[in-house]
Amino acid sequence: MKRTQMLGLFAAMVAVSVATNITTNLIQRKGQAESYFQTTDIPTTYAALAKAPRAMDTDFTLAAELSVHAVVHVKTKTPVQIQQGFGGGMNDPFFDFFFGPQQRRQQPQREAPMQEGSGSGVIISNDGYIVTNNHVIDKTKEIEVTLNDKRTFKAKLVGADPNTDIALIKIEAEKLPVILFGNSDSVKIGEWVLAVGNPFNLTSTVTAGIVSAKARNINIINSQMKIESFIQTDAAVNPGNSGGALVNTRGELIGINTAIASQTGSYAGYAFAVPASIVKKVVSDIRQFGFVQRAVLGVSMGDITSELAKEKNLKIMEGAYVSEVVEGSAADKAGVKKGDVITGINDVNIKSSAQLQEQIGRFSPGDKITVSVRRENKTLKLNAELKNKQGSTKIASSEASIDMLGADFKAISAKLKDQFQLDYGMEVTNIKKGKLKDAGVMEGFLIVKINNQAIRSIDDIKEVLSEALNTNDKFKVLNIAGVYPNGKVAYYAVNVGE
């Protein structure tokens, strides 16, 4: 009996001792976090934390403090698409071209119903730049951001990249808390991570897990030039976490939470994040150019299976197998051949096609890289100069997208407005080689609407073109409606995705 009492007393003493140590540690860590938010030298603070002993890596309190204040709640409103006749309504003057003035009926104007959505975002600069997922803000008309201190701001879209499912938005604010980028390349399988976001509209939620895999391709991005090389984690991620932060135990951003593997739509064990290395490249390009400067190697590739290895007599199982080489591409110029296995880019080993996509996705057209290939059981190092999809090494300007249409535009004259009873429109002039000519558009065509949006200026054309190029749809099409000066009404479907 006494022995049992002594054991119980000993256990209680141990519990008190452990609790005291934990409490002391938490107080010390809380003090560190508070001092962090009092300093203005954020990079220095992170540098000091990076040198901290790794023995405390399972204490998530500091990482949570460093990240939770820089993760925001993103709320969106998206118009619900309503099927309408040409011109968007009976009282549009252009409706008369189809049904005649006698068919015009006065109808009360009503706004399209709005569908609300929500996600998360990560503040990456103290002046209001925020990273989120493209699918969070895609096709939205209103974006609202709520900070952890409950302040609310209207946000504007700076740019988006459907190929990586990353978008950049901006709010007008200063001295905001930020999360600094970490090195996603150094992340190890089995390493502890935190997922920070707003699942189910539950703000400032932190969950913990480990990295369970890297360079995961789950085939969820619907884009011709998609890059899927996700960090896989078992930290709980649910609807609303999209666009939130995946951080290491030092509070550094190593990924943007993007997707979950689930049969129900809720967390079922695994979640996936875009690596910070890709996010950083995409965000930098969007801020500098307005869109991503995409580099292309110019190969069709796949992973090596046991069947493929046997069929092609391959002696290795890791790397990206080259099934085709595009003529004139960077790979072709460098000497890459069909049947090669790409095993490295610069100093990084390549184990899969997804990893190769990730590595190439970090570069811009004109960048020079070293490609390691395995050919006939020998390793070769080839020098390649990357190109863009059009086969050029030049950095594209912000005007490049509208140049693909191959025409100039000017506002329609007052005479044409009176003739066709139009309030707006843009006339196609100086048509040359490009998308419009390929679709059959001729000079003098008066563009009234594109994708059911009124076209009043060159900026309207740029905007609707940008939206089409940034859509997740496989086919990127401009549905152009207008009239020729002789009164002939015409529709054109212009494919801008190729």
Residues classed as catalytic = 135, 165, 242
> Tokens representing 76?
């969106």
Distance CA 91, CA 6 (A): 90
| Cα 276 → chain centroid | 11
Angle made by CA atoms 247, 250, 253, in degrees to the nearest 5: 30
Q: Report d(CA 333, CA 353) in Å as an integer.
A: 20
* CB-side neighbour CA atoms (13 Å) of 19: 6
CA distances from 23 to 15, 16, 18, 28 (A): 12, 10, 9, 9
Per the structure block, which two tokens stand in for 210?
């480990």
Q: From CA 187, how far away is CA 247, in angstroms rounded?
A: 10
Cβ contact 132:167 at 8 Å: yes
Furthest CA-CA distance within the chain: 108
483 with 447: CB under 8 angstroms?
no
Assigned token pair, 293: 């400067």
> What is the amino acid identity at position 170?
K
Cα separation, 370 vs 368, whole angstroms: 7
